[in-house]
Amino acid sequence: MHLRFCLSKLCGRELLRALLETSFLPVVRCEECGREAVFTSTESECPCICGGTSKVLGEHWWRTASARVRAACRRDPSLLAQAKSDWADLRPGGPLPRTSEAFHWLELEWGQTGRPPHRSFSPRAHLERGSKVLELRRMGFSRRRIVNLLSHPSGFSHQDAILFIRAGKLHTLVSPKERVRGTEVEPETLRRLRDWWIGYVRSSRLLIAPTGGAELWRARGWAVSYWTRPRARFRGVRPRTTPTR
């Protein structure tokens, strides 16, 4: 799996989250283009997509990486707690990936590290909200309507149902005739769709306060940054520092 970032160019703070994300798997680097990739084979080298040869980064590289991460943790005592908290939120119950011998210290400190004080940020909830906002926007919902739907799900309307049907959603709750027309929904169908939406929003951590529109769009901006900007993700950037558009 080719990486969209170069591990060797990351600072210690970024490197900690990057290695957690790649599960501390072996990494190869191309001698020609410098491209790096996660490597799951037992071989010592493999061909690169540029035509060159990629070789596994050895123990010296891991010792250097370990020293950089450890120094970053010493400079910022909250770094490990924040990284562990994010990891646990995104992978509930998931243990620390098996590390190389150079990171034995991390395994010890990981088990002794608790949650950071005053913790309220949930990356998983923000990703879920960001994903749903993007989906609703693609379906044709306005920003204002999205806020209304997520703050007052019981207000799910006939027009909302039409947009869902036209997007090919919820076919199991809609009759074939309604799917074909895509312009009218029977009252009983609308009731089923409204009940489904209310349950979905409340069970998926999507429910927001009526005044939570700004926070919702910050979550959407943060999610896009998380998916498209690896270094921002590895720095642990939070929504309030992510510009909204």
List the structure tokens of 199. Answer: 């349950």
Secondary structure of residue 28 in the 3-state scheme: strand
pLDDT digits (tens, 9 = 90+) for 218-235: 889 999 999 999 888 999
pTM across the whole model: 0.81
For the chain, the structural domain boundaries read 7-117, 123-223
Element (H, E) at 69: helix 59-75
Looking at residue 66, its pLDDT comes to 95
For 158-172, letters b (16+ CB in 10 Å) and e give eebbbbbbeeeebee
Secondary structure of residue 29 in the 3-state scheme: strand
pLDDT digits (tens, 9 = 90+) for 25-64: 888 888 888 888 887 777 778 888 888 888 888 899 999 9
Looking at residue 155, its pLDDT comes to 94
Torsional sign, CA 105, 111, 117, 120:
positive
Amino acid at 117: P
Secondary structure of residue 56 in the 3-state scheme: strand
* Beta carbons within 8 Å of 104's beta carbon, 6+ residues apart: none
Determine contact, residues 29/35, Cβ cutoff 8 Å. yes
pLDDT digits (tens, 9 = 90+) for 175-232: 777 666 667 788 888 898 899 999 999 888 888 888 788 889 988 999 999 999 988 8
Closest CA to 118 of 238, 244, 219, 227: 238
